Structure 1
Amino acid sequence: MYTLLEFQERAVNQLQQHVITAIENGRQQTPILLKAPTGAGKTVMAAALIERVVDQAHLHPGLDSNMAFIWFAPNTLHIQSYVSLSKFYEDTRRLNCLDLNSLSSNPVLNPGDLLFVNWASLSSEKNIWRKENESNTNLETLVENTKANSTKIILIIDEAHLGAFTGTQATKVRNLIGADVEILITATPHHMPDLNVVVQRNEVIKQQLIKKSVRLNIGLDPEQQNSDNVHIHLLRKAFEKKNELQRLYDLEVGEGVVNPLILIQLPSDSTKITEEDEKIRDIIEGLLNIEYNISTNNGKLAIWLSGEKNTDGLEDLNGFQDVLIFKQAIAQGWDCPRAAILLNYRSIGNEDFGIQTVGRILRMPHRRHYNHDDLNHGYVYTDIETSRIRLVPADSDYIERLKAERKEDKKWVYDTLKTAQVINDRETSATLTSAFQTIFFTVMEEKYGIKQLVDIDFFTSRTAEENAAQKKINTDFMRARGWEFDIDTHQIVIPTDIQIDEYQVDAIINLNKTNTKAFAITSEQFRQLFDRFCFDSITRLIKEKSWRQMRTTLINFAEYYLESFEFDARKIFLFSQNKVLILDDIKIALERFDVWQRAKGNENRRIEYADWEIPKERYYSDKHNRFEVESHALEPFYEQTSASKPEKLFKDFLIANETKINYWYKNGDSGREHFAVDYVDVNGRKRLFYVDFIVKMKSGKIGLFDTKSLNSEVDASNKHNALRKWMSDNGVDFFGGILIPVETAGTWNFYFSEFDLPENKFIENTTGFTNLNLSNF
């Protein structure tokens, strides 16, 4: 079973609530959107969603698991999804994966069936599955038979931007199915329904599943073209980058472990090979064969074109192929994490296709970022003018085209600083784990004075009589604290014959034996009632992922301490006076588990330090403004369009005081390529923060400043103290801290404290702070 990452877990929980809401509302074809970037694990999230909807439907009043699913996908993506989800459900077997060939005549979908369908097989009325026939093997019969059994149908549309909502046939098919819910999955939706979940790209980057950015035409210089055809020049540049990445991969993960792949995209939008395509392909294949010994004959060149495909082993990290030539075929669904460089000869006619294609080079081979930052970016080489590349607005900052270089002609000394890195930097999962059982048992032993029974086997000296005696001691101690164990039947007590005054809406009715009655329920109802109790008992954590562990813990407790097994355990815990007691015990155990989990997570996160200096070159996205600043360490200076007011004010302050300093540098906000200081946040977790400004004085001293507004961040004082400790640990040539801009009579001054501040508190004023005067340093 795949363990979801934090952002995936959050998305699945939100989607699940949307699905439940949509089913309860009873409006057919309610659309629910999952918008997530390439590499976010959309298929995994959808798979987890489907399983949870089925598995936990009974936890929601009025719902049950009598539902089936149809998964639509374009091209051959449905086959990939079928294979992936079949493996996903291999252990639990909660879903039964099918394709159209699995269905017999007069077909029907049973509860838990998940049917994978190629959209093209239903997109025309001429297709066999759209026609009436003697065997009734068609979509209409499938839907009628399924709904005749009161089975709900949930439709999943993968890559939903590709035709699922355009054209009369797409509408006819969706209307014919009349699904209770339509779940739309895409990175580039055409519209946003009311029920939607959006996974931001930066969340996926933070989890290191995908690369940080795409760099466009890196190192491309017309002076190096040497009269080559532009197509050949681009190819040579792509191979230079491939060789560079190969060297870095060999150093990082071992020689030959990853063979970075070049993707070459032919120019025309047509699926057929045009004359223009053939001309460029001949040029490319000729150069590959002559200069790089790469051809289809020796297996180093892969082809993925209409009617021509040789891609065996292409997705392997150390795949033999160095180059793949393709057209549109791999725009959706193809997963090859070693794909690193895209050589794009086509005019990107629509923005969606452009993003989908670039997405093929975004995945990280080992699902983590590497120490050498050049491996954490994808590379695109293209002869298309920048102004003609149209990107989806949400992804427009993904392409890094702006380059700044360190000023080496100034003879400035770029000092080496110790930057902090968090190792094993994973968020603590808000999920109940098996460790909870030990904590819960301890709580119960401390509160009731009980002891665990011992398994009786050949190697155990204790007898059954001794266990029976211990069981009696346990039950006696628990009875003394209010527990009841003589429970003959499983019943629910519900109000009867109650008259409500409709005008007295806030009235409280005190129920007693005269207006309540006990009703017997079936074993299955009782199981569902106990599951619901376990689900509702979860606090602080994700209920959907934690209730099963709670159920296991309670049932094991009953067996290990009371010698009561699952059927009787349910009766014990659901008996009214016992429920009150056990919920209080659970609450205490959950609080202890929370403390334990936070401490465990902090133990696993360690800080290591590495040498850092201002980079020789740095790339920026289009969401930056260019400035010529004499004193900035890199030229030109790029300022983020969303830079905060304190950042902009301090930048102006530094420019106005250029004569007093050697240089200054605006640091990045995240990533190992930027300078970081470790601190402990208000929740006791080890974290990093990235100092905004590094200022080198003429005296040789270095100022480190992080700009903030008053009352803007509760962790500001913790960061300040951590920075002061870092400066103290690393010598006497540093000064700085959290920097607060204050306006007085139209003039901005900047204040920082030369002392530690009270931790875990907002910085509310600058009393006792020092007015920054660069002449003093």
Structure 2
Amino acid sequence: MTVLADFQVEAISDLLEAMEEDQKEIVFKSPTGSGKTIMLTHFMDEYVKGHLKTIFIWFTPGKGDLEEQSKNKMDYFVHNAQTKLLDDILTSGFEENDFCFINWERVTKKGNSALKQNERDNLIDKIRKAHIEKNNFVVVIDESHQNDTVKSDDILNLFKPVKVIRTSATPVFNESARLIEVDEGKVIEEGYIKKMLVINEDFSNFPEIENPLEFLLQQGIEKQNELARSFIKNQRKVNPLVIVQLPNNNDVVLENVERYLETQNITYENGLLAVWLNNKKENLENIEHNEAGPKFIIIKQAVATGWDCPRAQVLVKLRDNSDEVFEIQTIGRIRRMPELFHYDEELLDSCYLYTFDEKFTEGVKENLGDSASHSSTIFLKEEYRNIELTTEEKVGIPTSKDPKLMLLILKKYYQEEYNVTSRTTDNRKIFENRKYIFDEFITKSVVTGNVTSVNQESLEQLEKITFKDRSSARELSREYHNRVSRLGMKLGLTYNHMNTIVRRLFNRSTHYENKILSLETKQLYTFVINNFYRLHGDILNVLSNEKYAQQSQLSLPVTQSKLLKLPLEFRFTYNKSNKLQKLYKKNVYEGYLSSAVPRSTPERLFEKECELNHNVEWFYKNGDKGSEYLAIVYLDNNNKQKSFYPDYVICVNGQILIVETKGGFSRYGQSEDIDVFTPKKFNVLKSYLSRHNLKGGIVREDKSNNELFICYENYNDDIQSDSWVLFTEFLDTI
């Protein structure tokens, strides 16, 4: 019989109490490794003992066969439970006190047969029959942050549940729901999860690294050996597992990992290596057991959700130089204690992350920010349901990309913005003064340190270190190819065309009369890799500045217009911890609060002004992508169609205005707008307003007086110019 921890008993008690309360939804937030499934299965078993005619439906995300794992766990924890999978339901239907585990993809994926009306035994009929027999459904949504869609909501409504329990380590909150939260500190105190996460241990001892991938794998091997020796010394039968997480779309990395591990005698054949990918699975049987043979397992992000392997203690997170965001849930895979108690030895009571992910802290903060937000669905007020706006859509006309012209434009850009000359040695000094790196090796920055809890405050304390990557010429060439391809994509050019441009501008061995730098091939590789984000910024400047615009040769219209009504509902996210929760009555949605997130400072100030200004009748916050939102289509400097989504639509004395907000001006007049496309967006917006006989402009804050100003005629980045008018005075003229 399972012995429950105090925090688990408390959570089960809270769940049982919440079932008797008025709120229809319960949000169950529990840290990864706290035994969420144990708590829920015991709660469900206790509940049905006192509530006959109850059927539990447990929805899991469509990755890793989680519905079968959850069913098997309930069979293990609760003997003689009536557990079923979807196929069992379609065969025999629902019975009272059933516990049914269903994969979302089986009922939401296009082409599934479970809901088809022409199927002899479909789920809809089974649900209808259960309702006729007076059964009540309670729905549990596991990993609820992954399946919050209209389709899943439609499926949910079929059951007409008396209660919905949404559970996740990072759930989306609903103000009207009953929140039950398991305290992470209590989970650590009980010994369920590890005391500390150690990030990039001792990396400061390695100022130069020959091969980053092999270095990370070697750190994993050495840490696994150290942990294994300590478990043996402490007479614990645990074989610590190293998780190697691959980037989601890179099979070459898999081959390199397998090749290196084979040199260390870690292979599929000897049972020390396992793999769990969509198209490849090896040595997975009983891998969760503490004494299982594999020391390493190769996975991708998809498997990280819901997979329970308490002996996993080391995570080697690999990247492929993409901007893939680090998912905080991944860390949860290595936080469980293998025997549900601490060993009072720091080595064994910690888990270890090794990664050269330079955006690790940003990725985790982004995840933390999402999980810290609360949300609710709010609805459009009836009086605004007939408002119509004219939105624009791309028509998909192909546009030609001229690499020769782009070479000339980039050369012109460096001549005018950097003041480069024909003397490449002088130009190098100019680039160095602009913080460009000239080094024979790749320089990288990572964080290192220990955190007891993965939160923003802990991340701020991590030490940042820089090291040199002495990768082979072959590895340098591959990474150079990756970076040049991504630069080319910004300009709509192929790798070959972009590579030619880069070499003509910067490579000594490529003939070009107007060369800017004269770098050897290896120097070129490291120059592009080390300065990728600086070069990326140069390209953004070229695309945003009107003086570098290409002359479009298109004679056909580039857009098609259609009338658009405001969305009837949307998921509103807000900061519940904000002390001020003012209801904005002038917003077109019922329940729109002043604590809306994410909102920039200019957006918050603008919304406050709209609410207080007597001229403003209503305001609407536009979305930033999607066909349901107001969009303006334009051509960038490379003749590529782009969609611009202005921030706000407001109504002033019966007149509709379209407004874009941007970063303000400092107390001393310096621009704090980081968007290089603002001047272009202004011209795009002004053209749209002219075509549709509307008003509007760009709004920015002047911090010297804490007032909002609007530019609506000619754009100027100087707040002292006559282009900027006090926003309140502008509204008075309408």
TM-score, normalised via structure 2 length: 0.48
The two structures have a TM-score, normalised by structure 1, of 0.46
- Structure number with bigger Rg: 1
